[in-house]
Structure 1
Amino acid sequence: MELKREFFYEEVQDGFYIPSIMKRAWGAGLTILSEVDRICRKYEIPYYAGYGTLLGAVRSSSFIPWDDDIDLMMLRSDFNRFLSVAEKELPEELALDSLETNPDFWGMNPCVRSAVLCFHPKLFSKYREFPYHAFVDIFPLDELAEDPEEERQRENKVHLLFQMMKKVEGREGEPAKWEEELKQIEKLFSVQLDRRRSILTQLSGVMDRVYQEFNGRGGNTLTFMPLYMMRKDRYPRAVFEKREWAPFCNLSLPIPSGYDRLLQCTYGDYHKKVKAGGEHDYPYFKEKEQELAKMLGRERFFSYTFKKEDLERPKVQSFRDLTFLTADYLLEKSKSLAEQIQRGNASPALSELPLLQETAISLGTAIEQKKGKEKESVSILERYCEALYEAYLTLQEGPSGDASGELVAEQLATEQVAVEQIAADQLIKAGNCLKNLKEALERDCKRQVVFLPHSAKHFASLRPLIDALQEREDTEVKLMPIPYFDRMGDGSLSEMHYEGEDFPKEYPITDYRSYNFAAELPDCIVMNSPYDAFNPVWSVDPFFYSEKLKQYTNKLVYIPWFVTDEIDPENPEDGKAFYNMRYYVTVPGVFHADYTIVQSEEMREAYLEKISRFLEGEEENLEGKAENGDSLQRKDACLKERSIDELMQMMQQKILGAGSCLLGEKEGQGTKEVVMYFLQLLSK
């Protein structure tokens, strides 16, 4: 089964951010699904997409954005047929987990899962380099009794078993405490429980037998019993009489011909998109993340660890700032030397005028090299240098003297004063040359803003801002697409991609290979990739990591390439979205950037709440993490250098809820607001 490389990149669907690691989980699940499909086709075993997978297939031919697994339905008789052939047909790295195949199984439903973490190169590649166990859930459907009284009695039995399982769970070594209750269950269900084996697993087996109690009667209503017990889901048998095939990612997936009725029975108005369920156990692999991080090391695991140095800012002056500082220096120094000469102290000028001239020449040469020849500021500096040279020659020659080379003291003093006045006037003339230099520099050395998108499809998030800046006479815009690389599961970079040719042709492209950041020192660099080395699926060229970019500008700005629905950290329904913020908020770029412009003030608060929890250690990501995982030690490691409150005060200054160009003309958080905030940042 082939999946395009773009399938694995993070994206936003229906206002929900899907991280790249989830895309790998989807890819691994689809690979397992292809094996299940192969077996079912071979043995003509019907199966159906179910629950979230069916919903995604019908609505978008793909996963629901906030779903993390694949759900299949089978009639119980068909599942039993699948069970009979699965062991010999599944590849050795996969296993069917069920009561019938695993003596320790007591889950809610069977699943086909990867039996081991697939770090073998061939397996890792086959399962899309997803580092955790992947699986496909199977939900066997059983018959409901036609007689309501019979069904009520079964529900009572299930409830009794469920309560007993709750007592036993986590306390398997204490069966004597429930001996009387266990004897009652044995009598009621005609079973013999082995006290030396897992009571929980045996009770699950009894429960499963009760689920199947009315199968074979030809009932008209089916259900997956655990869900029936929780929310009374029930499905007409008629919806499963025929199958249709629907596209799903790169597969063709069987769905019940009566899918509309089935989805209504399950979700009601299933066309209404609801991010139900909160964070809870989303994503299913999150408990394994810490385990794998400890095994592999955090750098290898693509998990960013905050360091206090990430908030430190090297002092960088842009080329434009340096030209204005140099102009101020030349003007002040010329004035100072003229005053010294007028006071009769000409000797320092003879040694300092050549240095002053060299500074002016260097400035003019730099402007000529970076901004082109025939700039007004260069002409002004040339006239300035000529005036300096005249002043230097005047001072060097001194009084002319008589034929004998001797002057009386009075005449010598008089002529010396005259020479110094001439030199002072020449320096004043030189200073006058500089009066218009700043105005010329404003025209010749505009503020330079460099945009570093890596993907042409993300250009929309920057385009209106670029358009607005290009209209300004005081700003020079450099659009510089940068290369990016696919990343293998072991962290190595593979194929390089450069999309410069895919950007709109009306925008001039600056070649990243010919631009010298260290020499240019732009006033502002705008990035929309904040991940540095911590995206497991792709990476920009390491030269363009945020940690390095801030060495070349005094303003590094991060503008996300996406917008999501608003996220309320306190709303359980936003739990999954808030969890996924770890993949784009607690990443290097947000900490290294001088400013991050997000879509709204509400989203700014969500960013800050995520960062606060991250710094407090709730997300298991603080520098100096103790080996034993003690949260107080982790927190202390940060507090030694700077308190959480101080760090948060810094981040509050960095995160701006200005808006997003992707919101267009939306009042209060659209393009107009982004442009306004950005211009304010440039002028700081």
Structure 2
Amino acid sequence: MEFRRDFFEDEVRNGYYVPGIMKRCWAASLEILLELDRICKKYDIPYYIDYGTLLGAKRNGGFIPWDDDIDISMNREDFNRFREVVEEEIPPELYFNCVEKSKDYAFIIGCLGFHEVSLDENRLSRYHEFPFLVSIDICINDSIAKDQELENVRESELVILGQLMLKVLNNERSGKNFEKSMRLVETNLKVHFNRKEKLEPQIYRLLNRICKEYEGDKGRKDLYAWIPQILQASHLNYPQEDVFPLSTIQFEGIEFPAPKNVDKMLRIEYGDYEKPSKSGGSHGYPCFSKYEKDFIALVGGEDKWHFRYRFKKEDLQHEKQENVRDMVFSLLRALGLQEEAMVARKNDYSFLQESLANGQDTALAIGNTIEQRLGEGTESVKLLSQYCEAVFHAYEKAKQGNSPEEEIKKLGEIRRECETALSKEWKKTMLILLDKAKNFPSIEGFYKKMQEQEDWEVLLMPIPYFTRKGSGEFSEEFIDTEAFPKEYSYVDYKSFAFDTVLPDCIVMNSPYDSCNMVYSIDPFFYSENMKKYTKNLFYIPWFVTDEIIWGAEEDEKAVVIMDYYACQPGLAHADHSFVQSEEIRKTYIEKLSAFAGEESREQWEKKIVAAGSCLLGQAEELAKQVLACMEE
């Protein structure tokens, strides 16, 4: 299956941040689904996409942004046929499992997916560079009993079993109460648990037996159900007239089987499904995160794993250095202090002569530096020439034993004029680093507002970025210079002398440094390196999300996903990060304090600034906040 390159990039869908590695997970899952689809077509086995996958197809045309797997459903008799043929058909990198197949399998659903975490080049190439485990969930619908009394008995059996399952899931496996629960199940369901074997697989085998109790002639043909739902005190009963004959529906641009009446099926499963809900808990989310340790072992240890930021408190510090412009203005301020000292000691002629001689040398040095940077003929250099002439007259007067008080006053006037002229001629420099052209709208309005500032020169610099292989190695290199708007000028990153210019401010749009598994900017432009070249390193996100409230159940998954864009080196190295709202600022501070340690909270409270976003039409407020945070 072919995807556009930008499909795999980090993205905000429906207000929810989707990291690029999740996109690769989706793509790998789709390839597995296509393999299942091929097998089912070959053997004429009905199946259909269901649950979150069907909901995403209906509402979004593809994955729900906060979903991380694919769900399909089959009726029991169709699943039995699939189970008989699947292992002969699937390629070696895939495996199939279910309760009937494996004694140690502890799930009620079947699954088709990868064996293991792998860096095999063929597998990575076929499955879109996704190295982790992922599988498709196969939900098995069973017949409802013809006799409602029998169905009531099954429901009571499930309630008894559910009490034991709850204790197992909550790890309450010791004491008399647990043994009592086991004996209650054994007595009522006529089963014996082997205490020497793992209990969970035995429970799921028993659950599976109960689910399929009325298959074949013992059950109704017109009504099937997802029986395990009874464990959650509800029913998912599917009239077969609403399922068959199957229809099709688009999912990520591909036609897949769907129930005949998609709307009714979704209302059975979700009620008012048209209203998005992010609830569902964050345990085990995203699905591939639990395999990170296996991947680290595969690549050779922690020192070769760069994709999860390891916070160091030193990263919050920024050792700053002056640039040439700073030094010139420092020298001008030093001349002002010298003038004050001369006024205070206006009758100390020896001191005055020495100070005036030093002032002459300083003024000449300033003038030479300005000409080297700005060329000849500037107003500030002309004023410095006048300053030197006034110094000469003051020196001669002091040499003759007369107080040069008026001349010193004149020096101050000329110097202040020079500072004003120089601030217009030699503007402060802001360098905005641009990686992907598609993210330019997040910075364009801010750039325009900063151009209105008379004392700032604002430069746009497109920089290279790379896609990564599944192993983390760099793959293709890109630079989007030609894709940016033509009405602006751009600086060539190859010829820009960072160590000479030392911009007053560097603005970055990418916070990840090496910690994104799918892409990377050129390592030279990582935040850890950029802060060596400026005294103001700022981060402006390329995206906005829906508001995320810390502690809100609906936002649990959104908070987890902040690992992929908030708990990143760029936010630690940046002097300030400018986020979209006060509510988001609070959530960032909570998330980062939990990530880096509570002792870091005060630092995050200073670093994270609620400033709006160009994407929300708030460029003016953003520019205002940036200027307010600027360190002179």
> Normalised by the size of structure 2, how large is the TM-score?
0.89
Task: Measure, in 1, the Cα distance between the counterparts of 2:251 and 2:462.
Answer: 33
2:247 pairs with 218, 225, 244, which one? Answer: 244
Given the superposition, is the C-alpha separation of residues 218 and 353 from structure 1 closer, same or farther in structure 2, using an over 3 Å criterion? closer
**Following superposition of structure 1 onto structure 2, how do residues 651-662 of structure 1 map, counting pairs within 5 Å?**
651-662=604-615
Matched, 1:227 2:229: yes
Whose Rg is larger? 1
Number of the residue aligned with 2:329: 324
Task: List per-residue Cα deviations over 1:17-66 (Å, max 9, x = no partner).
Answer: 11222222212212221221222222222211110001111122211001
**Following superposition of structure 1 onto structure 2, how do residues 297-336 of structure 1 map, counting pairs within 5 Å?**
297=302, 300-332=305-337
Tell me if structure 1 keeps the 8 A contact 2:225–2:238. yes
2:418 pairs with 417, 430, 437, which one? Answer: 437
**Structure 1: runs of 5 or more not aligned:** 396-414, 617-643, 665-669
**Cα displacement (A) at 1:655:** 1.0
Given the superposition, is the C-alpha separation of residues 593 and 44 from structure 1 closer, same or farther in structure 2, using an over 3 Å criterion? same
Task: Measure, in 1, the Cα distance between the counterparts of 2:162 and 2:84.
Answer: 28
Q: Give the superposed CA RMSD.
A: 3.4
Number of the residue aligned with 1:35: 35
Given the superposition, is the C-alpha separation of residues 253 and 337 from structure 1 closer, same or farther in structure 2, using an over 3 Å criterion? same
1:451 pairs with 421, 425, 432, which one? Answer: 432
In structure 1, the residue corresponding to 2:96 is in which secondary structure? strand
Task: List per-residue Cα deviations over 1:163-208 (Å, max 9, x = no partner).
Answer: 4455677799999x9599669748855x676666545423422321
Number of the residue aligned with 2:82: 82
Task: Measure, in 2, the Cα distance between the counterparts of 1:526 and 1:184.
Answer: 64
Matched, 1:287 2:293: no
Number of the residue aligned with 1:256: 259
Given the superposition, is the C-alpha separation of residues 237 and 314 from structure 1 closer, same or farther in structure 2, using an over 3 Å criterion? same
**Cα displacement (A) at 1:321:** 2.8
Matched, 1:21 2:21: yes
Of 648-657 and 508-517, the range deviating more from structure 2: 508-517
Task: List per-residue Cα deviations over 1:320-371 (Å, max 9, x = no partner).
Answer: 4333212223455578789799714688579847743651243222431xxx
Task: Measure, in 2, the Cα distance between the counterparts of 1:73 and 1:604.
Answer: 42
Given the superposition, is the C-alpha separation of residues 429 and 172 from structure 1 closer, same or farther in structure 2, using an over 3 Å criterion? closer
Tell me if structure 2 keeps the 8 A contact 1:364–1:381. no
1:377 pairs with 377, 380, 393, which one? Answer: 380
Number of the residue aligned with 1:631: none
Task: Measure, in 2, the Cα distance between the counterparts of 1:591 and 1:200.
Answer: 44
Task: Measure, in 1, the Cα distance between the counterparts of 2:532 and 2:384.
Answer: 29
Task: List per-residue Cα deviations over 1:438-483 (Å, max 9, x = no partner).
Answer: 1101211223222112112211112222222222323222122222
Task: Measure, in 1, the Cα distance between the counterparts of 2:437 and 2:47.
Answer: 41
Task: Measure, in 2, the Cα distance between the counterparts of 1:322 and 1:2.
Answer: 55
**Following superposition of structure 1 onto structure 2, how do residues 611-650 of structure 1 map, counting pairs within 5 Å?**
611-616=592-597, 644-645=598-599, 647-650=600-603
Number of the residue aligned with 2:531: 550
1:676 pairs with 620, 624, 627, which one? Answer: 624
Task: Measure, in 2, the Cα distance between the counterparts of 1:7 and 1:195.
Answer: 50
Given the superposition, is the C-alpha separation of residues 680 and 193 from structure 1 closer, same or farther in structure 2, using an over 3 Å criterion? closer
Matched, 1:277 2:225: no
Given the superposition, is the C-alpha separation of residues 87 and 417 from structure 1 closer, same or farther in structure 2, using an over 3 Å criterion? closer
**Cα displacement (A) at 1:79:** 1.1
Number of the residue aligned with 1:626: none
2:271 pairs with 250, 261, 268, which one? Answer: 268
1:362 partner amino acid: N
**Following superposition of structure 1 onto structure 2, how do residues 89-128 of structure 1 map, counting pairs within 5 Å?**
89-128=89-128
Task: List per-residue Cα deviations over 1:133-152 (Å, max 9, x = no partner).
Answer: 11110011111224332211
Tell me if structure 2 keeps the 8 A contact 1:293–1:301. no
**Cα displacement (A) at 1:382:** 4.5
Given the superposition, is the C-alpha separation of residues 236 and 538 from structure 1 closer, same or farther in structure 2, using an over 3 Å criterion? same
In structure 2, the residue corresponding to 1:526 is in which secondary structure? strand
**Following superposition of structure 1 onto structure 2, how do residues 131-170 of structure 1 map, counting pairs within 5 Å?**
131-165=131-165
**Following superposition of structure 1 onto structure 2, how do residues 404-415 of structure 1 map, counting pairs within 5 Å?**
none
Given the superposition, is the C-alpha separation of residues 65 and 346 from structure 1 closer, same or farther in structure 2, using an over 3 Å criterion? closer
In structure 2, the residue corresponding to 1:496 is in which secondary structure? strand
1:525 pairs with 489, 506, 509, which one? Answer: 506
Tell me if structure 1 keeps the 8 A contact 2:329–2:419. yes
Matched, 1:484 2:465: yes
Given the superposition, is the C-alpha separation of residues 601 and 161 from structure 1 closer, same or farther in structure 2, using an over 3 Å criterion? same
Tell me if structure 1 keeps the 8 A contact 2:93–2:114. yes
Number of the residue aligned with 2:205: 205
Count residues in correspondence.
625
> Matched residues, percent identical?
39
Tell me if structure 1 keeps the 8 A contact 2:352–2:398. no
Given the superposition, is the C-alpha separation of residues 477 and 239 from structure 1 closer, same or farther in structure 2, using an over 3 Å criterion? same
1:58 partner amino acid: K
Given the superposition, is the C-alpha separation of residues 304 and 212 from structure 1 closer, same or farther in structure 2, using an over 3 Å criterion? same
Given the superposition, is the C-alpha separation of residues 80 and 173 from structure 1 closer, same or farther in structure 2, using an over 3 Å criterion? farther
Tell me if structure 2 keeps the 8 A contact 1:460–1:662. yes
Task: Measure, in 2, the Cα distance between the counterparts of 1:130 and 1:479.
Answer: 34
Matched, 1:356 2:356: no
Tell me if structure 2 keeps the 8 A contact 1:391–1:424. no
Tell me if structure 2 keeps the 8 A contact 1:342–1:424. no
Of 468-477 and 82-91, the range deviating more from structure 2: 468-477
In structure 2, the residue corresponding to 1:462 is in which secondary structure? helix
Tell me if structure 1 keeps the 8 A contact 2:133–2:291. no
Given the superposition, is the C-alpha separation of residues 671 and 100 from structure 1 closer, same or farther in structure 2, using an over 3 Å criterion? same
Matched, 1:64 2:64: yes
Task: Measure, in 2, the Cα distance between the counterparts of 1:187 and 1:450.
Answer: 74
Tell me if structure 1 keeps the 8 A contact 2:108–2:208. no
Tell me if structure 2 keeps the 8 A contact 1:528–1:561. yes
Tell me if structure 2 keeps the 8 A contact 1:547–1:592. yes
> Normalised by the size of structure 1, how large is the TM-score?
0.83
Task: Measure, in 1, the Cα distance between the counterparts of 2:260 and 2:409.
Answer: 92
Task: Measure, in 2, the Cα distance between the counterparts of 1:214 and 1:382.
Answer: 102
Matched, 1:466 2:447: yes
**Cα displacement (A) at 1:162:** 3.4
Tell me if structure 2 keeps the 8 A contact 1:391–1:422. no
2:626 partner amino acid: F
Tell me if structure 2 keeps the 8 A contact 1:113–1:135. yes
In structure 2, the residue corresponding to 1:597 is in which secondary structure? strand
